[in-house]
Structure 1
């Protein structure tokens, strides 16, 4: 379930205004040449970061009930830890409002989840198993809207340790905070970025779908992986392949993108540009086993 995160509004309004003036839109809809509008992706700018303002005026006003008499937001503290057996878990669903998130692979047969810190927009976290799904969900003052630019959270952190033998599916909906995913071996991985930096390091997957939010993204792959599909947001993107093992589809947002592949990789490079430049330095094998379909939005693309 996608959250409607009402954050970094000034940034998005400014960026959108500039892009509309340049007749630029993002995502797969940016490819028709006769379009002159910005793609709002189901009424949202950049994945789950934007929302329709008028439809949420009531939600916005309701959130102001949570200010104290001095005009300060109430702060909620949390310190919980929970262990869940891996048995019968087929997928993980994580929904974040305002926390830094660390996901790690561990030598264990259990999941361990810890949530610590304080926040003005997260009052509690629930951890439960419904059917075969492990659900980890932050609950804010209003689950449909999050005024991230008012958030007073400075130290809230969620750590999720995943058994190294768990190779099912994981879906993460990011909020305001940095996300770090390290060393996991997964089947399908879906990540929706929020406002913060995103790091994926030494992970293995068969399928990765990523929606960038606002922040820099680093994907450092030390092993052969499967297909990758990325919708760009606002921020720089770096992808490092130790070995190419699948197709890559990238629909650019705003920022610099650097893709590094080994020499003589069996890759066909197909590129198109919006406002920006493409610099191809990579030497491929000519076998064309995999296709990199790269569409630049606003910024530079470099393939080394």
Structure 2
């Protein structure tokens, strides 16, 4: 009887301690591996200029991104961090492409091991200064926050990844397409002919935007705030979340409701 009781206690103890031990082992191993990824010798630095750029494309980055329009002739790229960012310029299309391989794993570099576990905890900042003559910008698969200001483009295609996106004073002659990922999107000052918004997981806030054509909203999970704006035709459908309009005028409303409230009080 006493032996059975002892066996039961040992069984319960093992059932509790074994999973905890495994979890602690995984966490400690991952922390140790990620620590090797922040060795100062692995820092990647970019400080370069690119001339005659009309199209800018950034993708697969595990860093914060800042894009600033200024009175300059060339695109200036500056980066200090741990990602292996590559830059590729196509002279025929005048396209500058920046991307990295955010694969989580282990590789052999220069005869030694380099670990990339949890390297987004040590994200750097990629700062791109662009001329106001830039005509097209696109982004996709960004793990990090993105800030964009002062761009005047023919077309815009922004696909958020994981992180918050902030845009200020953006002018788009034709089409602006914004797709949310996991994180909030805040836009202050946007003018476009058409606007297409596809929601992800997170709130979306639009202030002082003007769209002369059709604005299409296919919302995801999160609230949408449109403040002090002028929209011609609003169409699409809401997802899970509220739509709040404050000081916004809409000529034609064709928006379908989802799960949440639509406040048209200040329309």
Q: Same fold (TM over 0.5)?
A: yes
Q: Deviations over 1:133-180 (max 9, x none)?
A: 11111233469xxxx9933433401011110122x2111114210001
Where do 5+ consecutive residues of structure 1 fail to align?
1-63
Q: 1:126 aligns with which of 82, 86, 95?
A: 86
2:43 alignment partner in structure 1:
77
1:253 alignment partner in structure 2:
220
Q: Which residues of 2 match residues 38-117 of structure 1 at below 5 A? A: 70-72=32-34, 74-75=36-37, 76-86=42-52, 89-117=53-81
Structure with larger Rg: 2
CA contact (8 A) 1:257 1:302 kept: no
Partners in 1 of 2:233 and 2:161 — Cα distance?
31
Distance 1:293 1:113, change over 3 A: farther
2:102 alignment partner in structure 1:
140
Shift of 1:106: 1.1
Partners in 1 of 2:243 and 2:101 — Cα distance?
42
> Is the partner of 1:245 in helix, strand or coil?
strand
CA contact (8 A) 1:255 1:299 kept: no
Is the aligned partner of 1:229 residue 2:196? yes
Distance 1:140 1:246, change over 3 A: same
Is the aligned partner of 1:184 residue 2:146? no
Is the aligned partner of 1:239 residue 2:202? no
Partners in 2 of 1:93 and 1:141 — Cα distance?
19
Partners in 1 of 2:235 and 2:98 — Cα distance?
39
Partners in 2 of 1:197 and 1:186 — Cα distance?
22
Is the aligned partner of 1:216 residue 2:184? yes
Structure of greater relative contact order (alpha carbons < 8 Å, 6+ residues apart): 1
CA contact (8 A) 2:218 2:236 kept: no
RMSD: 3.2
Distance 1:296 1:116, change over 3 A: farther
Distance 1:169 1:277, change over 3 A: closer
Structure ranking higher in strand proportion: 2
Partners in 1 of 2:254 and 2:122 — Cα distance?
39
2:175 alignment partner in structure 1:
207
**Structure-1-length-normalised TM-score:** 0.63
> Is the partner of 2:85 in helix, strand or coil?
strand
1:153 alignment partner in structure 2:
121
Where do 5+ consecutive residues of structure 2 fail to align?
1-25, 106-115
Structure ranking higher in helix proportion: 2
Distance 1:84 1:295, change over 3 A: farther
Partners in 1 of 2:231 and 2:96 — Cα distance?
38
Count of residue correspondences: 221
